[in-house]
Amino acid sequence: MCLVFVALATWAVRTSDLHTPDAWKTVLLANIGTISAIRYFRRQVGQERHSPSPSS
């Protein structure tokens, strides 16, 4: 899921015209989405580490 958000942010920045006055909005939204995805991924990994492992 994290990679999907990063790919979407990359696509949004690459397909937009960064020379327009409103380009900062696209970049800001892409950065916020990417940071949110990374935080979500870290939270999921942290939960997996702290959850008790099933005994074999």
- Per-residue confidence (pLDDT) for residue 56, from 0 to 100: 47
Nearest to 6 by CA among 50, 41, 54, 46: 41
**pLDDT tens digit string along 1-55?**
667 877 888 888 888 888 888 888 888 888 888 888 889 888 988 887 777 665 5
* Cα distance from N-terminal residue to C-terminal residue, the chain: 30
pLDDT for 44 equals 87
Q: Do 41 and 28 touch, CB atoms closer than 8 A? A: no
pTM score, whole prediction? 0.63
Residue 26: predicted pLDDT: 86
Could you give the CA distance from residue 29 to residue 47 in angstroms, rounded to a whole number? 27
Q: What are the sequence ranges of the domains in the chain?
A: 2-44
pLDDT, residue 34, reads 84
Contacts of 33 (CB under 8 A, 6+ apart): 5, 8, 9
